[in-house]
Amino acid sequence: MSASIDSTLKRVGEQQIDLLHTVINGKQVLIRSSEIKEVLRPKTLTPVPMGPDHVVGLVNVNGQVYCIIDAGGVTSLPRCLREVGPRTRFLLLRHNAMHVGIWVDEVSKMQKVEHSVLANADDNSDSVYRIEIDGVAYDLLQCISLLH
């Protein structure tokens, strides 16, 4: 590949962001793919007695224990259904020290959007932002802020 084509591809890649379309209790929620380490089919959860309401349980993934949370328990999003269905997924979040995942009722698709779409997001100040893509309003979940 020539240097000019390679640099053009890098510039285009910097201007677009991949967003994962998910559903949480019927609500369309977008998540930056860069915040997700892995998407898993549900595994057996171990309950956390007397744990916070938003903690769904613990799951072992290749010898590493992850805490699966309900993002609706700590944001303005609706609570997850907590009923495992054929489309239920656990999204393991990318973080260098914490092992956390979120429960989603469905993962539907990946979409590239221009960075400027996110720059115009309305901040709800609770890790959820409102954005509009092609005339449709979505909630954008800022996963990294769930880990503070």
Domains for the chain: give ranges and CATH numbers.
3-147 (2.40.50.180)
pLDDT at 2: 37
pLDDT at 62: 93
| Residue 52, CA distances (Å) to 40, 47, 79, 80, 114 in order | 23, 11, 14, 15, 37
Sequence-ordered strand ranges (E) for 3-147: 16-24, 27-32, 36-40, 55-61, 64-69, 89-93, 100-104, 106-114, 122-123, 128-133, 136-141
pLDDT at 124: 64
Query: Dihedrals φ, ψ of 69, to 5°?
Result: -115, 160
pTM: 0.85
pLDDT at 34: 95
Of 50, 42, 49, the C-alpha closest to 68 is 42
Q: What is the DSSP letter of 111?
A: E
**Own/partner pairs for 48-56, CB < 8 Å, 24+ apart?**
56/80, 56/82, 56/103
pLDDT at 125: 63
- In whole angstroms, what is the distance from residue 104 CA to residue 22 CA? 7
The ranges of the chain with pLDDT < 70 are: 1-14, 123-125, 148
